[in-house]
Amino acid sequence: MAKRKFNLEYNLNAVSGPILWNAIGTPTGLQTWMADNVDVNENIYTFEWDQSEIRQAELTHCRVNSHIRFHWLDDEDPKSFFELRMENNELTGDYTLLITDFAEEDEVEDLSELWNIEVNQLIRLCGM
């Protein structure tokens, strides 16, 4: 079954750019809301949840204070990725977190809900 690309958008009111980037663009930041543990060896990130699930992702693209993109190493689709992108509204100063991910059609809703839970944790922990 082919994977489908989907996008999620989260408005983050009154958050500073450096705080948001630290949360999405660094292993320590990702560890506070996305996974229980995040380790990096060169451009391979190891994500661990509940000491039982471990997945590795290759950092494929990063532009500081803009976006970070990963490809899961166990994903057979070479075109799939997940990306965390921050955009600033110059008029209001607010940031939007844009998430792009891929999933099989019957898993898009579940994966979207998982992202919602994780981003809500990010919002709580960072005081956004």
**Per-residue pLDDT tens for 104-125?**
999 999 999 999 999 999 988 8
Summarize pLDDT for 70-101 with one digit per residue, the tens: 999 999 998 999 999 999 988 888 889 999 99
Q: Does the pTM of the predicted model rise above 0.85? A: yes
pLDDT band, very low/low/confident/very high, at 1 (cuts 50, 70, 90): low
- The two tokens of residue 61 are 């693209």
DSSP 89: -
Question: What pLDDT is attached to residue 128?
Answer: 65
- How far apart (Å, rounded) are the C-alpha atoms in residues 109 and 77? 19
- How far apart (Å, rounded) are the C-alpha atoms in residues 78 and 12? 31
The number of angstroms, rounded, from the C-alpha of 82 to the middle of its chain's C-alpha atoms is 7
**β-strand partners of 96:** 11, 87
Question: What pLDDT is attached to residue 14?
Answer: 66
Classify burial at 101, counting beta carbons within 10 Å of its beta carbon; exposed 0-12, middle 13-18, buried 19 or more: buried
